[in-house]
A and B are shown apart, each in its own frame.
Chain A
Amino acid sequence: MIRMMRVNRFEEAAKALFGKGMVHGTLHLCVGEEASVVGSTAALKEQDYILTTHRGHGESIGKGADMRAMMAEILGRASGTNGGIGGSMHVCDLAHGVIGSNGIVGAGTPTACGAALTIKLKKLQDRVSVSFFGDGAANSGGVLESMNLAGVWKLPIIFVCIDNYYAVSTPVAKASADPDLTKRAIPFGMKAFEADGNDVLAVYETMSEARKHVIRQGGPCLVVLHTYRISGHSRSDHNCYRTEQEMEAWRAKGPILRFGNWLEENGLFSRDEINEMGAAVDREIEDVVSWALKQPYPETDGLEDMVYV
């Protein structure tokens, strides 16, 4: 619950900073998708590799990346995960297995296959590679080629499609000849898993199953998580492709609200305790923002010296 709240508040804080003109560049936020990104990464182990998308803050936080350094990165500061070079779209944290987030839709998937190849060739135990991508990338050539390659070479990789309803403004049904994305597994001989991406427990269980399957079977699988992006696609989004009613209906089904109700109904936590969790995360994120804002900007000298090893 706390992790989902972190992702949510982190994104809202980034959005607020953007609104004040303090973020140079763009932001792709994952508000509404907290259960998908947190539930899936919670099922992974420290040593697993992930490749995330341009909307990658959530998975990186879920995998354990330092939120202070991430916020500093978004603000272009020297203490950011990438020293201010990458910005929002390129957060990386190899120490936590986050090989990187990627600005080219679907382009991280082949890289994830490569990490899986290393795991296989070096016979690294209890380790998988995970490629996160969206419903939009499910139609890109590189993703489909990678699924085939992983199938042929029996690579230990989980392809996680976060189906968040819209690729920018284009809904799945208008972009995919068959909107059932789980069927992408069939031609490549993979098993497909599917879950309600707004149900954090279902996501966690499904992803745990998928991870077990990959390690036991020694080959890839596909996980499709159905969720809804409440955030706009990016800074330029005016939500002209959807109605306020539609968004409101999904807000009511939001993963944090939903899991909070479940915790309360099952007597695990009281409403007050859940509210206190939220307040504690608010304070944590306030600290993240104030720390990040104090960080210096990077020096402009020497960029050419950083191009090659």
Chain B
Amino acid sequence: MMENEMITKTYREAIHDALEEEMGRDADVILMGEDIGVYGGGFGATAGLLQKYGRERVLDTPISETAFVGTAIGAAVTGMRPVVELMFSDFMSVCWDQIMNEAAKMHFMYAGTLKVPMVIRTAAGGGTGAAAQHSQSLEAMYCHVPGLKVVIPSTPYDAKGLLKSAIRDDNPVIFLEQKLLYNTKGQVPEEEYLIPLGKADIKRPGTDVTLITYGRMVQMCLNVAEWLALDGISAEVLDLRTLSPLDKEAINASVSRTGRAVVVHESVQFGGFGGEIVSTIMEGDAFRFLKNPVRRVGGRFCPIPCSPELEKSVFPTPERIEAAVREIL
């Protein structure tokens, strides 16, 4: 692609642009959520959309997650394409029944007679000092429920292309926006593009070890890969981008080439999504190419504390990732 066709956007702008474009393309796309209108959303991603598309399509909701997520489900079933903003992914527990027992199950339970084309956008992850109830990464919980798709972009480019695909998808999609990434910048094409759900992306090719990760840990893994390169170690960084459905082929293809894998995620390591990634390797083609056991680097088994040093200590650090790589070289 030529240089002049790309423009620099923040992750927040990329999400905003995806919403704006899809609303322009399809009149059935509506937005619902707390303070998404005049206020522009908890993290500013919907700024200006009320002015452009009006009150009927940008709906400020009461603080009633069960009601408005459920309302989005009912609207989706009857012909709309709602995109719900849930201010923090931690609030998923408040409306989890609607998501787990209704949205995820309706297509199956009602034998394919209806579909639930909706997206739940929500700010996830820590690093902001927002403490135990506003910092979690609960993707393992969402992925455990058949019927939901789970997307977690790491760059502005991916965020825009994946959100547009999520809005056009006929299934309920949980779209996890990483709080610490909203202000990060990246190149985004000027013309329209889509990124298919369920496809991982090699963010950096390598030959000695695969760092399998997603979300804001992708950048951390890229930094670690730079360090390792100084010592002649070639690390591949595989960004999963979509966790459900999982791109098992990409995982196995990469690890088959490198023979080593470190799985990195911010969420609590115990019972985390990393276990599924490791199993994908153990049960897949890559197992017979493994030169050493697979390592996981995840969050500590505790709620997320507030104080800066405390908070930093619960998440993976570049040092911990590097150490895990060196252990299996």
Contact = CB atoms under 8 A, between A and B. Distances in A.
Interface of A: 49, 51, 81-83, 85-86, 90, 92-94, 99-100, 102-104, 107, 109-119, 121-122, 129, 141-142, 145-146, 148-149, 152-153, 304, 306-309
B30 interface: yes
Contacts of B59: 153
B110 A82 contact: yes
B67 interface: yes
Contacts of B170: 309
B62 A110 contact: no
B51 interface: no
A124 B106 CA distance: 24
B77 A107 contact: no
A307 B74 contact: no
Nearest to A149: B67
Contact of A111 (B70, B111, B117): B70
Contacts of B108: 85, 306-307
B74 A148 contact: no
B69 interface: yes
Given A141-B66, A149-B67, A307-B146, A114 B98 contact: no
B70 A118 contact: no
A96 B42 CA distance: 40
Contact of B74 (A82, A99, A145): A99
Main secondary structure of the interface of A (DSSP, over half): helix
A86 B75 contact: no
Interface string B53-67: 000110101101011
Nearest to B169: A309
Q: How large is the interface on B (under 10, 10 to 19, 20 to 34, 35 or more residues)?
A: 35 or more
A146 B66 CA distance: 8
A83 B107 CA distance: 12
A304 B57 CA distance: 34
Contact of B78 (A115, A142, A145): A115
Contact of A92 (B69, B113, B171): B113
B111 A113 contact: no
Nearest to B146: A307
Interface in B230-257: none
Given A86-B110, A99-B77, A104 B67 contact: no
B290 to A, nearest CB: 28
B147 interface: yes
Given A82-B113, A104-B102, 8 more contacts: A92-B113, A104-B101, A110-B98, A114-B70, A114-B80, A121-B30, A307-B147, A308-B171
16 contacts: A49-B78, A86-B110, A93-B113, A100-B106, A110-B66, A114-B80, A121-B30, A121-B80, A145-B64, A148-B62, A148-B67, A307-B107, A307-B146, A308-B147, A308-B149, A309-B112
